[in-house]
A and B are shown apart, each in its own frame.
Chain A
Amino acid sequence: MYFEEIQEGMAIPSATYGPMDRYKHIPIAIILRDTNPLHLDRVYAQERGMPDVVQQGPLNETFLYRFLTDWLHRPWDLRKTKIRFAANVFPDDLLTCGGTVTRKYYENGEPRVDCQIWQQNQKSEQILVGEATFTLPERT
């Protein structure tokens, strides 16, 4: 995909990930140095009204980023993200990510594309909603 081919309103190809794996919470907790029991201890999570352990928010984001950066020419063509955490993810959930182009323009001579991005689970509940800005190469 090149900048010239982008049109406002066009969909970015969606991608589905999962089922989510509770055992991935452990390396993520180690990487984040965050042992919040909400992510690791089912009894603790259930005492707080959750059906199961809650997947770490950054791990939910990982899949939204992958959906977008796997589609870009180069991963670091990403320029900005603004993401709202709307709901929790639990083990065995499936996460579908999608997006829609909202604007194409130049900033400081660089081609830029703004888009709405979202992630939802298998029940069509919004998990993450937000915006992203990226650059794409020009054909000419």
Chain B
Amino acid sequence: MAILGSRVLRVEDPRLLTVGGTYCADVRDRRLDGAVHATYVRSSVAHARVTSVDVAAARILPGVVDVVTGADIDLAPMPGWFNPGMVRTHLACDRVRFVGEPLAVVLTEHPDQGEDAAEAVAVDYEQLPTLTDPMAALTSEVKLFPEVGTNLVCEFGEPAHAGPDALDGCEVVVRRRLVNQRVAACPLEVRSSAAAWVDGRLHVWCSTQNPHAVRDALASLYVVDAGDVAVVAPDVGGGFGAKIDLHPEDLLLPWLARRCGRPVRWVESRSENLLAMVQGRAQVHDVAIGGRRDGTIEAYRLSIVQDAGAYPGMGVYLPMLTRSMAAGTYAIPVVEADARAVVTTTPPVGAYRGAGRPEATAAIERAVDLFSAEVAMDPAEVRRRNLLPRFDEPLTTPTGETYDCGDYPAALERVLAAAGYDELRAEQRRRREQDATLALGIGVSTYVEVTAAPSGGSEFARVEVRPGLDTGAGIDSVDIVVATGSSPHGQGLATAFAMLAADELGVALERVRVLHGDTDAVPRGSGTMGSRSVQLGGSAVRGAALGVIQQARKVAADLLEAAVDDVVHDAAAGTFQVSGTPAVARTWAEVAAAAERDGKPLAADHDFQVSRPTYPFGAHVAVVEVDTETGDVRLVRLVACDDAGRILNPLLAHGQRHGGLAQGAAQALYEQVAFDAHGNPLTATFADYPIVSAAELPSFELVDLETPTRVNALGAKGIGESGTIGSTPAVHNAVCDALAHLGVRHIDMPCTPARVWRAIRETGRMSTSGS
């Protein structure tokens, strides 16, 4: 069966297209009958002592069942990642540290009543100075956690020091501060969860990327056995990393349910989501790149300051990935990277598509372009001269990361050819000679990233083969159930894993059903994040399928009255036969029925384990047009070559690449979470946050490349985040390239019209009238 590698339409689609998905807010379950609705009361200031929270007026409003403040909560607070002293309580108690931080919650019969009641809670604040700039936070007298005494959460590596460094002795050195700005994940489905205690068990529904982690976290927090916690991830409307962590609002629901003796449901508003869901990126980079005039790069240094937001979480771990991937695709002999994470009076930072790796690529790709400009060489040519040559054996970089395999020069050449790079440069020259108002910019990036980071991982699968229940499907029908610990939220894994099982077993795709997102039905799992599910989850499915084939061979041997060793499974025919006598065969249906009669239904578990991550790579070319009079930037073309090893289903892989390309381009051109000097959010609704729409983007041009990995038998690397990682610097470089002839050296992302216009004016080369 040649189904693997072919474009198979999704099994998930019919339901989603006809009745729509059942997202957490849509769940109807008798265990949630009579639920109250939770509405959080949130801080309206960025940094303050909370002197009083008056709930009296709220309590008497219609439908209010209860009002809870931080003082009421008796749950163990959450220690900060890498700095346990930076503690967060589930509801703020005597101090708030970002606008939007929850400090009370009202429970009402209907959600509308919750909005009304939340407004009636009166909070008195004694305001404190705010810190929205991570660089200022490093040295500021203002401390978010006075008991800790510093805003520095943690440090990785040796910080850069004044004086001689690795770049001394280079003919050419460029140093620059770059900002990798904070962005919002913006899944279309906001956060939502529900909790109910039923007969001593805690039942939770949560819009999460990892139901098993939710189960374990709640079991720990509420001091109950994990077996007494049942978590369901219903259909999840996007995660992008931001739904990996549990937020306090989710963690608190079981406590509220216990307190009021009723189930509790919570659905936030988009405004709350933009205030209080973990946000992405937020790194400041000091890059230094040095080499020779002939274009050879000899040394690169990256100093990272990670803005952790108000409470250190996943965001302070991500710079470790940025550091480890700092060398990128290049054969630079000396690469050094260090990182410091610091708290600020802003929302906490977490994982967002790429999670630490886009930052590494953005830094080095911009640095390579700055170096190219300094040595007056074409940036594609500089890359050619410095890329690591093709390698099929593991290769360790100066940062200690061991890449599995890669062919970076092939990716670069393919994307340049597909883009028509030479023609683009010629068109750019023509426009410059004519002093065209619409400047053309061409940006190149090469990237390598790490999936199933930092060190591989494990995933569970079970494959069951049952005689078919649907008699209309024929007497030879079987029903295959695949249970996976992966937790898809748009990736199409039900289709991908059905393909894997169907291929291995030799059954029709339509006979396979994939089960996920229910911790009672699937005993363990690692969830879906970090582009791990095909390589880990898919490998587990394959392993379980092989296991069930072994069981089936034994049953078939009895039916065929042969020795097990003489029984072969013919995947193409979907039968079991005695080796050498294909006419004497048993079908899956016959074997499954026999196994049921024996009281041992065919079912195999597999825990796939691998201790190494994989390293997808690629190269992107972006073409932009910049109106030098208005600063407006239009992305005209985005050409992307992405190599993720062997591709299971190109339909799904291309979809993942498209989504990543859009998010990456959006960061370069439009999106930014912004605050004023007092820490007030300026982008807290979709009317203000410039989430990218179809009107801003072109159709993408994809170039395929497959360099299978040997890390797993599928040959698969991850694909979900690659698009984001390569596109941001390609688009960013394109904008800077468009204006290079006017003397603009760099513009920080996002390259908004205002920034572009200002950068052009600051060179003094164009009059303000633009004529």
Q: Do A and B come from one complex?
A: no
